[in-house]
Amino acid sequence: MKRFLIGALAVLALAASMPLIFHNEYFFFAGYVVLQFIVLATAWNILGGYAGYVNFGSGAFFAVGAYTAVALYKAFALPLGLQILAGAAASGLLGFGVGMLTLRLRGIFFSIATIAVAIVLETVVLNWHYVGGAKGLPIMRPVETPFFASHTVWLFFVMAALAVLAVGAARYIETSWIGRGLRAIRDNEVAAECSGVPTLKLKLGAATLSGALMGAAGAPYAQYLSFIEPASTFSLNYAVNALAMPIIGGMGHWIGPVIGAVLLGSVQQIVTVTISSEINVLVVGVMLVVFVVAAPEGILGLFRKLFPSRKS
Amino acid sequence: MPQVAHPAFLVMGAYATYVLAGYGVDPLLAGLLLMPVFFVFGLGVYQFYYSTFEGRGSDQGLRGIAFFFGVAFIVQVGLILVFGVDQQLVDASYIGTSVEFGEMRIPKRMLVAFGVALALTSALALYFSRTFTGRAIRAVAQDEGALRLMGADPVRIKRWAFGIATATCALAGALLIIVGPVDPNVDRLYIGRTFCVVVLGGLGSMSGTLVAGLILGIAESVVLTTAGTAWAPAVAFGILLVVLGVRPAGLFGR
Amino acid sequence: MTPLLQVKDVSKNFGGFMALDGVSVDIAQGERFGLIGPNGSGKTTLINCVSGVLANDSGSIRFDGREISGLPAYQRTRRGIARSFQIPRPFASMSVLENLLVPLEYAGTGKLDEAHEILKQMGLADKAATQSNRLSQVELRKLELARAMAARPRLLISDEAMAGLSSNEISEVLEILFKLNAAGITIVMIEHIMQAVMKFSQRVICLDAGRIICEGTPAAIVAHPEVQRAYLGA
């Protein structure tokens, strides 16, 4: 635990000192996206990787965070910190709600319900003119960001903090009795229940936390782009990436989603810029299928095969 | 089985029809011609799924779902890359003309699609109730063990069912593009419609499925005329969510 | 003294099929109790209702004098009802020891020593670090029992723990169950292997088509004409 805390602080210090090394604004712009994917992938893994319930609608949780932040910013000019808290609360509530509705049923129903929620909410936002409807809404960035070179650098740092928080939460869950309970649910739900695991409560908790983290990742999105519109915010790309990254990185360990997010996130930044964004998402889809079929334990699993001596 | 790629196959059927229609084949005939091709394709997909996931046993749920999701995604993006995001249409003698019943004018394409869909559904219903394989398919969903005792191999039955389902996608896809223009993104909509109808009707019930289809169709057109097109996509999913919350066994389930 | 488990008029209906039809039985503290019956007679349904995997449609189930039929399964486990499964359901991604830690942390004492103690008792001590999907059939059966024991039950339900085992392995498992009973745990044994149930049980009931057709000592059961008819179909 202590080692992890020191590591986390080191990562944050590194993120804060990045402006001393890089002066190119684009580095932070791209880095933000990668960090955002670390949060999304880690959040997905808490429910998907540990408990085995597949969320297809990560985009919706992300977008609820983003739009909650936008609505509150427009109405009360809330500061970013409160926007993030509110976005997390709204998406967490959504996770809890979808969980209440479907987590009693077989896993596939939960997955379908998450797609359903994504489309219903996208339709609602498309018709919600206060936040711009289908046309979108430009967002004014605050003019000054004390202590940081630019607003992008500030957001980069905020996302780095969220990433550390998400990974810390995932790691805590994984190594505690909660994680063991979630894995028992994934392996065999009936046996878990008969071993004293309150399966519904644990699943609801995981769905809530997972949703809240996704919402937190989405909250600064409008400020990052200075603009928000439904199509890109609810994009299927978030859903696919949030699921592909942990599966490709390895679902069993908290570092897996991080590896997947860093790898896929950086590759996508490069491919989108140099080739095309359609090829980019196709690559993610193909990699997802290839890994699911050929390397079910992800990159971590491959790694362990190469170095069998290292124990989890 | 977590077959979430089904709607993607449906859109694939529509596009395959579009391609054949480009060579002057009647779209309906194209749909029929594609059925055996899709059937074999379905057998192949199931075989692959079985040997990589179900056969291996543990933890197939999560990865099976992710697999089909990935396949659906690849189909969608592949179609976008090949055909672009624009809508595609087909042409035939019965498209664009209509029949008049007194005051009402009904487009012929609708009648054709309705007739074929009804015929297809009835044929499937007959197949499931009258033939041994059909009944075995219904049994396999409930009790694999009992089926094994009857001397039927559940894996073969499931593969067969998967083939039939995929073949149905070919003809249904043809109907889809006869009724209206198709673009690669409609599969998301059809995920909603498919699951909404299936869950509302109750899993495994043919008559329930028909009634549910009707209900959804009516609900969608009511919303379309009262609230406008912008709300239409949410209808199927909205109903689906409500049904999941209130009556997961479906309207006619116990 | 009130019986540890009181099942009264319990029925369970699966879409028109009466799997349990007004079953009543009392099981005393410390008893070794056998449950037999042909395939599909409702044995597993009965213990599913007792353990909370299924909810009974009507009737009452009392454990230690308190009604439990509305409780979710995990709370029944915490109150002291643990079970093994007919088809082993290990937590396949975990080691044998971790499999025990789940009930230990959620329903038992949470003490790691106890897990090792149970593994030793079951003869699985040298398998503690093995991943549970690498176990042999008999080891899986033992793991089922060991995992149930880690919940510190007062009532242990063993659902066909011996199916498919060799006669040596059967006596091994029987010996374990005798030991557990000697330590004060009430045991309900569901078994097809007659010789094992008859040797183990002090009292036996036989289910057929969801009803209890007879109850008594092992010797009386074997001699009972209804049992012979149910089993031999004569």
Which range (C47-51, C52-56, C102-106, C108-112) has the least confidence?
C108-112
**Residue where a domain terminates, one of C101, C131, C152:** C152
According to the model, what pLDDT value does residue B151 have?
63
Chain A residue closest in CA terms to C78: A196
Is B1 a domain residue?
no
Which residues, in sequence order, are CB contacts of C182 under 8 Å at separation 6+?
Answer: none
CA distance C91 to chain B (A): 10
Q: Which domain holds residue C129?
A: 90-152
Split at pLDDT 50, 70, 90, the class of B254 is: very low
B105 in reach of chain C (CB within 8 A): no
Is C117 a domain residue?
yes
Interface of C with B in 84-123 (CB under 8 A): 92-93
Top mean-pLDDT range of A45-49, A76-80, B181-185: A45-49
Is C171 a domain residue?
yes
Whether residues B70 and A112 touch (CB distance < 8 A) is answered with no
Which position has the higher pLDDT, B126 or C136?
A: C136
Q: Which member of A177, A180, A193 has the closest CB to residue C73?
A: A193
pLDDT averaged over every residue in chain B: 75
Cα distance between residue A292 and residue C74, in whole Å: 33
Residue B139 pLDDT exceeds 80: no
Is C85 a domain residue?
no
Q: What is the mean pLDDT of residues B153-182?
A: 81
Pair C164, C123 in one domain: no
CA distance A123 to chain B (A): 6
Split at pLDDT 50, 70, 90, the class of C187 is: very high
Pair C159, C68 in one domain: yes
CA distances from B100 to B26, B97, B106, B180 (A): 24, 10, 6, 20
When scoring A177, A188, A189, A195 by the number of chain C Cβ atoms within 10 A, the one with the most, hence best to mutate, is A195
Is C108 a domain residue?
yes
Pair C137, C27 in one domain: no
CA distance B234 to chain A (A): 5
According to the model, what pLDDT value does residue B56 have?
57
Residue A212 pLDDT exceeds 90: yes
Return the closest-CA partner of residue A149 out of A266, A29, A36, A66.
A29
Pair B111, B144 in one domain: yes
Q: What is the mean pLDDT of residues A21-46?
A: 88
Return the closest-CA partner of residue A247 out of A108, A107, A53, A41.
A41
Residue C215, SS3?
strand
Residues of B in contact with C12 (CB under 8 A): none
Is B245 a domain residue?
yes
B58 in reach of chain C (CB within 8 A): yes
Which position has the higher pLDDT, B152 or C24?
A: C24
Pair C99, C215 in one domain: no
Split at pLDDT 50, 70, 90, the class of A38 is: very high
Pair B127, B52 in one domain: yes
Sign of the alpha-carbon torsion through B144, B149, B155, B160: negative
Cα distance between residue A190 and residue B1, in whole Å: 19
Cα distance between residue B220 and residue A33, in whole Å: 38
Split at pLDDT 50, 70, 90, the class of C234 is: very low
Residue B146 pLDDT exceeds 70: no
C133 in reach of chain B (CB within 8 A): yes
According to the model, what pLDDT value does residue B100 have?
66
Split at pLDDT 50, 70, 90, the class of C138 is: confident
CA distances from C232 to A257, B180, C163, C225 (A): 58, 64, 19, 10
Strands C5-14 and C17-27: antiparallel
Split at pLDDT 50, 70, 90, the class of A312 is: very low
When scoring B1, B4, B58, B244 by the number of chain A Cβ atoms within 10 A, the one with the most, hence best to mutate, is B244
According to the model, what pLDDT value does residue B94 have?
65
Residues of B in contact with A53 (CB under 8 A): 62
CA angle (C48, C50, C55) in 5-degree steps: 65
CA distance A111 to chain B (A): 8
Residue A1 pLDDT exceeds 70: no
CA angle (A264, A141, A164) in 5-degree steps: 40
Is C38 a domain residue?
yes
Instruction: Using CB atoms, list chains with 3+ pairs below 8 Å to chain C.
Output: A, B
Residues of B in contact with A244 (CB under 8 A): 70
Pair B180, B191 in one domain: no
Whether residues C92 and B59 touch (CB distance < 8 A) is answered with yes
According to the model, what pLDDT value does residue B132 have?
75
Split at pLDDT 50, 70, 90, the class of A162 is: very high
Which position has the higher pLDDT, A22 or C128?
A: C128
C219: domain CATH number? 3.40.50.300
Total residue length of chain A: 312
Whether residues C106 and A195 touch (CB distance < 8 A) is answered with yes
Residues B188-206 have pLDDT tens digits of 677 777 777 777 766 666 6
Split at pLDDT 50, 70, 90, the class of A66 is: very high
Residues A214-224 have pLDDT tens digits of 999 999 998 88
According to the model, what pLDDT value does residue A173 have?
94
Residues of C in contact with B57 (CB under 8 A): 133
Which position has the higher pLDDT, C56 or A3?
A: C56
Return the closest-CA partner of residue B246 out of A132, A233, A258, A102.
A102
Provide the domain count of chain B.
2
Phi–psi pair at C164, nearest 5 degrees = 80, 10
According to the model, what pLDDT value does residue A203 have?
94
Pair B202, B253 in one domain: yes
Residues of C in contact with A187 (CB under 8 A): 90-94
Instruction: Using CB atoms, list chains with 3+ pairs below 8 Å to chain A.
Output: B, C
Q: Which member of A104, A105, A126 has the closest CB to residue B230?
A: A126
Whether residues C52 and A193 touch (CB distance < 8 A) is answered with yes
Q: What is the mean pLDDT of residues A284-301?
A: 85
Pair B87, B170 in one domain: yes
Q: What is the mean pLDDT of residues A267-271?
A: 81
Cα distance between residue B146 and residue B169, in whole Å: 30
When scoring B58, B144, B148, B252 by the number of chain C Cβ atoms within 10 A, the one with the most, hence best to mutate, is B58
Pair C138, C94 in one domain: yes
Residue C86 pLDDT exceeds 50: yes
Whether residues B244 and A101 touch (CB distance < 8 A) is answered with yes
Pair C37, C101 in one domain: no
Phi–psi pair at B182, nearest 5 degrees = -125, 140
Pair C11, C71 in one domain: yes
According to the model, what pLDDT value does residue B104 have?
67
B145 in reach of chain C (CB within 8 A): no
Residues of C in contact with A191 (CB under 8 A): 85, 89-91, 147
Residues of A in contact with B71 (CB under 8 A): 289
Residue showing tokens 């780095």: A160
Residues of A in contact with C82 (CB under 8 A): 194
Pair C168, C136 in one domain: no
**Residue where a domain terminates, one of B168, B184, B200:** B184
Split at pLDDT 50, 70, 90, the class of A143 is: low
According to the model, what pLDDT value does residue B183 have?
76
Pair B173, B192 in one domain: no
Chain A residue closest in CA terms to B49: A293
Residue A146 pLDDT exceeds 50: yes
pLDDT averaged over every residue in chain C: 88
Query: Is residue A64 a contact partner of residue A95, using CB atoms and an 8 Å limit?
Result: no
* CB-count burial class (<10 Å; 0-12, 13-18, 19+) for B81: middle
Whether residues A194 and C101 touch (CB distance < 8 A) is answered with no
Cα distance between residue B112 and residue B118, in whole Å: 10
Which range (B149-158, C88-97, C103-112, C222-231) has the least confidence?
B149-158
- The structure's pTM equals 0.85
According to the model, what pLDDT value does residue B93 have?
63
Pair C194, C206 in one domain: yes
Which position has the higher pLDDT, A151 or A59?
A: A59
In chain A, where the domains are located: 38-234, 236-312
Q: Which domain holds residue B140?
A: 6-184
Is B225 a domain residue?
yes
**Residue where a domain terminates, one of C152, C177, C194:** C152
Residues B100-135 have pLDDT tens digits of 666 666 677 777 778 788 878 888 877 777 777 777
Does this complex have an ipTM over 0.85? yes
CA distance B245 to chain A (A): 5
**Residue where a domain terminates, one of B184, B200, B216:** B184
Residue C50 pLDDT exceeds 90: yes
Strands (E), chain A: 137-138, 227-228
Query: Is residue A79 a contact partner of residue A94, using CB atoms and an 8 Å limit?
Result: no
Pair C71, C157 in one domain: yes
pLDDT averaged over every residue in chain A: 86
Pair C190, C222 in one domain: yes
CA distance B178 to chain A (A): 25
Residue C179 pLDDT exceeds 80: yes
Cα distance between residue B196 and residue B209, in whole Å: 10
Instruction: Using CB atoms, list chains with 3+ pairs below 8 Å to chain B.
Output: A, C
Q: What is the mean pLDDT of residues B29-50?
A: 85
Pair C18, C72 in one domain: yes
According to the model, what pLDDT value does residue B98 have?
67
CA distances from A207 to A99, A110, A221, A255, B144 (A): 6, 10, 22, 20, 32
Cα distance between residue A188 and residue B132, in whole Å: 33
Whether residues C15 and B254 touch (CB distance < 8 A) is answered with yes
B226 in reach of chain C (CB within 8 A): no
Is B149 a domain residue?
yes
Residues B208-228 have pLDDT tens digits of 677 777 777 777 777 777 766
CA distance B204 to chain C (A): 15
According to the model, what pLDDT value does residue B223 have?
75
According to the model, what pLDDT value does residue B212 have?
74
Amino acid (one-letter) located at A211: G
Which residues, in sequence order, are CB contacts of B57 under 8 Å at separation 6+?
Answer: C133
